[in-house]
Amino acid sequence: MIGVFLTGVLIVILPDHGARAFAFNSRHGPSWTDLAGLILVFISWFAGLILIHRKWNAITGSIGKSNAHSLLAIYLLAISGIVAALIFSVECLLWILIAVASIINIFFLISALKANSGGIR
In order along its 121 residues, the chain shows pLDDT tens digits of: 788 988 988 998 888 887 888 877 777 788 888 899 999 999 999 999 999 999 999 999 999 999 999 999 999 999 999 999 988 988 899 899 999 999 999 999 999 998 867 654 4
| Residues whose CB is less than 8 angstroms from the CB of residue 60 and which lie 6 or more positions away in sequence, other chains included | 68, 69
Rounded Cα distance between 74 and 78, Å, is 6
HSE on the CB side for 45, CA within 13 Å? 13
- The reported pLDDT for the residue numbered 121 is 47
Longest pairwise C-alpha distance within the chain: 50
Report in angstroms the alpha-carbon separations of 78 from 1, 93, 117. Answer: 23, 10, 29
Task: State whether residue 118 is helix, strand or coil.
Answer: coil
* pTM strictly above 0.75: yes
